[in-house]
Amino acid sequence: MGALGHPHAPQWPLACGLLLLAAGCWCGPPMEVLHVDGQDRRYLLDVPPDLAAPAPLLLVLHGGGPDGPAMARRYTGFSELGAAEGFVTAYPEALFDNWNDGREGPKLRANAEGVDDVAFLTALVDHLLETEDIDPSRIYVVGISNGGFMTERLACSPLSARLAAVVPVIATMAETLLAECAPAAPLPIALVAGDEDPLVPFTGGPMMDGDRGVIASFDDTVALWRDHNGCTGEPEVELVDEVDDGTRVRIETWTGCAAETKSLVVEGGGHTWPGGRATFDFLVGRTSQEIEMAEVAWGFLSRFWR
């Protein structure tokens, strides 16, 4: 059934409760399958009940690692926000636990095997437009880490003509993509990074000694989008520093742009989701509590139509 009110809620809650009791794990609605380029590709879909139609669609691209859609669903809070704000959330799944975001390296199997994730995500958008009551002028993407790099690749692809706005988080861009990036039109974008990220170097260069490719610096990535969006003026600057957690957020909104262009630098922040639960800080750096990332991202995205 294709309407927003269709039953996307089979009897998984009871099964999940039993699994949680038995194994202490998390699970959610079952993965859905879309056949693309001879492969079965999977995604989670959250369609809130009683949703006004047509509704916005948010694609949330997970970071690298297993159980990516479930982790992103649990960690970001977008499904709960979608229920409150009235949007559909899709969590697509990468093959081999990583998106082919354009980086090249021995640890990047999706790239080595030529996985076309742009084609998959384009097909997913087409599929959801056919099966759900989605507003085609309000399609958004948020990506985290590897998913943030993939968001940048989408923003440089022909699909960008259909995206209303994007937010890549704790990511920059594959260095090779800097010269190749060709958005179809100016695109609203808010770029987010921690300047003490131990995994994605803020100043660019090799990731993990080159095993995970070479990336552009955050400043060079922002400069690319300033150029593509035709920004001619200096930025308006806002500092958010209300919580004593060793971080503050510097928000720059560039002026004279054909499409809104923002950068949010979490000063003192690591490879973490701002506003999320602080875990393994000794490995990934500080988690800022200065902003709630999901709310900030949706507050930005929701102002734009294509």
Q: Does 6 reside within a domain?
A: no
User: Is 16 a residue whose pLDDT tops 80?
Assistant: no
**Type of residue found at 235:** P
What pLDDT is attached to residue 210?
81
Q: How does residue 279 score in pLDDT terms, banded at 50, 70 and 90?
A: confident
Q: Does 102 reside within a domain?
A: yes
Q: How does residue 28 score in pLDDT terms, banded at 50, 70 and 90?
A: low
Q: Are 263 and 222 in contact (CB under 8 A)?
A: yes
Q: Does 119 reside within a domain?
A: yes
Percent residues over pLDDT 70 in the chain: 91
pLDDT digits (tens, 9 = 90+) for 132-171: 999 999 999 999 999 999 999 999 999 999 999 999 999 9
Q: Does 289 reside within a domain?
A: yes
Structure tokens at 119: 């084609």
pLDDT digits (tens, 9 = 90+) for 177-222: 999 999 999 999 999 999 999 999 999 999 988 889 999 999 999 9
CA triplet 64, 68, 73: central angle to 5 degrees? 130
CATH number where 52 lies: 3.40.50.1820
Q: Does 136 reside within a domain?
A: yes
Q: Does 16 reside within a domain?
A: no
Range(s) of the domain holding residue 34: 25-301
Q: Does 115 reside within a domain?
A: yes
Taking residues 30-47, what's their average pLDDT? 96
Of 263, 157, 160, the C-alpha closest to 220 is 263
pTM over 0.75: yes
Please name every residue paired with 144 in a beta bridge, in sequence order, or none if there are none. Answer: 169
Domains of the chain: total: 1
CA triplet 98, 73, 261: central angle to 5 degrees? 75
